[in-house]
Structure 1
Amino acid sequence: MITYIIRRTLMAIPLLLGISILSFAIIQLAPGDPTTLMMDPTLKPADQAKFREKYGLDDPIPKQYVVWLGKMAQGDFGTSIIERGVPVSEMIMARLPNTLLLMGVSTILAILIAVPLGIFSAMRPYTIRDYTVTVGSFLGVATPNFWLGLMMIIFFGLQLKWFPTGGVATLNAPFSIWDRIHHLIMPAFVLAAADMAALTRYTRSSMLDVLQQDYIRTAKSKGFKENKVVLKHGLRNGLIPIITIFGLMIPSFISGAAITENVFSWPGLGRLFIESAFTRDYPVIMALTVISAVFVVIGNLVADILYAIFDPRIEY
């Protein structure tokens, strides 16, 4: 297993390199110039040229990429163009815990709700409860994150005043775990909603197929209780296709976090990415793109490892 993990990690290096090249090229092709957002248009051309020379914006694109890649390999993502002199790594580390907290809680929430609902639906297929779960899942998949977030802010935040409408904590208030949880509930649910709905459908489909197998009917014929047969004999095999979806959920949480964090003013990496995109802060955009690619690789690696844990037929 250790050898496999090391091999997969080494194989991810050329993949990440290719992603960085494509991302860098696409950003360079985007219209506009970041210096127009930073400098006073009344500055003398000589001062503007010095500024561009300082940040290497006039260097050939291949040279800019090689310089950036060399620094990134040393853990240096450069300094922000907009936040002058502030290292990109500091900006990321300041917001990374908030994004990891939101993603972690959303992932756990999606799994804890979706898997039991999928099993519950598969145990009594084509009944009222099955149709209810199915309709709810389709609604969850079809509902955009930003719209659901806005509706929850209006209803639960402004009308009922149950939850705060944004932020990670109450301003000028002492640290409180309950206060953090209170701010986390709505964005975590919105971020988990779409994946929760899709995971419910996949769990139902997978378990429905497993529960029709001969060994399940044999276990039932021996007098075992239905819940024991489903959870002990069926769930482990039913989880195999679900693991694939779980591996794909991790990148989707990153992309969904950009919208959710912006709606709820959650100070995380997703909101930082949107802010940097509007201001064309190249160093921050490139750093966040690479970090997102790393999460994709990690998601696939975690899925492969879980295969071996839940399916004894798989060996590495």
Structure 2
Amino acid sequence: MVSYIIRRTIMAIPLLFGITILSFAIIQAAPGDPTSLMMDPSMKPSDKEAFRERYGLDEPIHIQYITWLGNMAQGDFGDSIIKRGTPVSELIMNRLPNTLLLMLVSTILAILIAIPFGIYSAMRPYTKLDYTVTVTSFLGVATPNFWLGLMLIMFLSVTLGWFPTGGVATLNADFSLWDRIHHLILPAFVLAVADMAALTRYTRSSMMDVLKQDYIRTAMSKGFKEKKVVLKHGLRNGMIPIITIFGLMLPSFIGGAAITERVFAWPGIGLLFIESAFQRDYPVIMALTVISAVFVVIGNLLADILYAVFDPRIEY
């Protein structure tokens, strides 16, 4: 297992390298100049050139990329262009805990709700509850995160006043655990809805296939309780496709969090990415792109490891 993890990690290096090249090329091809947002229009041409030279933007594209890649290999993502003098790593570390908290709560919420409903729906197919779960799942997949977030803010926050409209905590208030939870509920729920719906559908489909197998019918015929047969024998085999979806969920939360964080003004790296993209803050965009790519690699590696945990027949 250890040697497998090492091999997969080494294989991910060329993938990450290719992602950085494509991302850097796309950003460079975008119209506009980020330094124009920072410089006074009345500045002399010589001062403008000195300003561009300070950030290395006067170098050819390939030199800029090599310089950035070398610095990144040493853990230095550079300084933000827009927020002058502020290290990119500092900006990310200030925001990362908020996004990780949002992702963690959303993932746990999606798993705790989706998998039990999917299992029960597979055990009682074509019943009223099954149809209700199916329709709700389709609605969850089809509903855009930003629209759902805006509707919840309008109804639960503005109209009823049950939840705050955004932010991670109440401004100018002392730290309170309940206050943090109160601000977390809506964005975590919105972020979990789409994955919750997809997980429910995949769990139902996978478990229905497993429950039709001969070994399940044999266990049932021996007089074992249905709940024990499903959870002890059926669930482990039925989890294999679900693990694949879970591995893909991890990196997708970064993209989904960007929209959700924007709607709820949640100060995470998703919101930071959107702000940097509008302002064309190259160092921040590239750093967040690499972090997202790392999440993709970790998600796939974690899924492969969980295969062996749930299915002893899988060996590496």
Q: TM-score range with shorter-chain normalisation?
A: over 0.9
SS of residue matched to 1:65? helix
| Identity, % of aligned positions | 82
Match of 1:43 in 2: 43
Distance 2:306 2:198 in 1: 19
Unaligned residue ranges in structure 1 (runs of 5+): none
- Deviation string, structure 1 residues 183-238 (Cα, Å, up to 9, x no partner): 10100010011011001000000000000111111111111111111111111110
Unaligned residue ranges in structure 2 (runs of 5+): none
Normalising by structure 1, what TM-score?
A: 0.99
Distance 1:173 1:14 in 2: 47
Report the AA paired with residue 280 of structure 1.
R
Q: 1:127: how far off?
A: 1.2
SS of residue matched to 1:306? helix
Report the AA paired with residue 38 of structure 2.
M
Match of 1:123 in 2: 123
Distance 2:43 2:95 in 1: 34
Match of 1:237 in 2: 237
Distance 1:310 1:76 in 2: 39
Aligned residue-pair number: 316
The 5 Å alignment of 1:64-103 reads 64-103=64-103
- Deviation string, structure 1 residues 33-81 (Cα, Å, up to 9, x no partner): 0011111111111110100011111100000000000000000000000
Distance 1:41 1:4 in 2: 56
User: In angstroms, what is the RMSD of aligned CA positions?
Assistant: 0.6
Report the AA paired with residue 44 of structure 1.
K
SS of residue matched to 2:240? helix
Match of 1:19 in 2: 19
Match of 1:153 in 2: 153
Match of 1:210 in 2: 210
Distance 2:249 2:113 in 1: 15
- Deviation string, structure 1 residues 5-50 (Cα, Å, up to 9, x no partner): 1111111111100000000000000000001111111111111010
Q: 1:286: how far off?
A: 0.3
Out of 285-294 and 156-165, give the one that drifted further: 156-165
Match of 1:177 in 2: 177
Report the AA paired with residue 166 of structure 1.
G
SS of residue matched to 1:188? helix
Report the AA paired with residue 179 of structure 1.
D
Normalising by structure 2, what TM-score?
A: 0.99
SS of residue matched to 1:81? coil
- Deviation string, structure 1 residues 279-309 (Cα, Å, up to 9, x no partner): 0000000000000000000000000000010
Q: 1:120: how far off?
A: 1.1
Q: Does 1:302 align with 2:302?
A: yes
Distance 1:92 1:19 in 2: 20
Q: 1:110: how far off?
A: 0.6
Q: 1:168: how far off?
A: 0.4
Distance 1:120 1:161 in 2: 35
Match of 1:10 in 2: 10
Distance 1:258 1:111 in 2: 21
Match of 2:290 in 1: 290
Report the AA paired with residue 223 of structure 1.
G
Match of 1:315 in 2: 315
Match of 1:266 in 2: 266
Structure 1 runs (4+) greater than 6 angstroms displaced: none
